[in-house]
Amino acid sequence: MLKKSAYKRVLLKLSGEALMGDDAYGINRATIERMVADVAEIKALGIELAIVIGGGNIFRGVAPGAEGMDRATADYMGMLATVMNSLALADAMRQAGITARVMSAIAIDQVVEPYVRPKALQYLEEGKVVVFAAGTGNPFFTTDTAAALRGAEIGAEIVLKATKVDGVYSADPNKDSNAVRYSTISFDEALSRQLQVMDATAFALCRDRNLPIKVFSIVKPGALKRVIMGEDEGTLVHV
């Protein structure tokens, strides 16, 4: 008998850098195809999945390339980068036989649909993957905040923050060999220990909405499925 998944509806937050693979910038095709294969695994379990992608692999409002630029303008450019990433991911899913819909928080009607919450919920109930692009549609807010906001709006049971690090550590594991990975940690503990889980706005929203966060490594084969199945993968941040 197949083991039942731990969740029914989830919000997956992908960093733009995760799409680069070993490349210096842009989108690594082999990497995005592997991620799509991971998505296909959990879709086969009947999971309702929404995704938010960052744009750091293409452009980021606080990046050195934005030096001297108006911050709001730079952030809007970053939002457009997330649209590019979302389109690339949706196309890769289409080629893998997964139906995906990209919905943007800023109007680009000729390219993607505008974000409309009831429509997004309908797509999820129909079994489609919904990719939320352009962050919150506002400057000064990160895609972490967009993930927390959209997760709350669609009634996700958990926000899965997929990074290149396999969880939340007591210190930077790249600098401290004695750093310990937390299996679970409360929001209050993470705050008191000054652990960087998400940006402050996103973290506060998840805590206030009792929306748990799971931080895990998207580069580990099969990690996404293990998270969905409730196995000891990554770090669970909870109330």
Which residues are documented as binding site for UMP?
A: 55, 75, 136-143
130, 112 contact by CB (below 8 A): no
Annotated binding site, which residues? 13-16, 55-56, 60, 75, 136-143, 163, 169, 172
Annotated binding site for ATP, which residues? 13-16, 56, 60, 163, 169, 172
Cβ atoms < 10 Å from Cβ of 149: 22
Helix, strand or coil, per DSSP, at residue 178: coil
Among candidate residues 111, 100, 108, the one with its CA nearest the CA of residue 137? 108
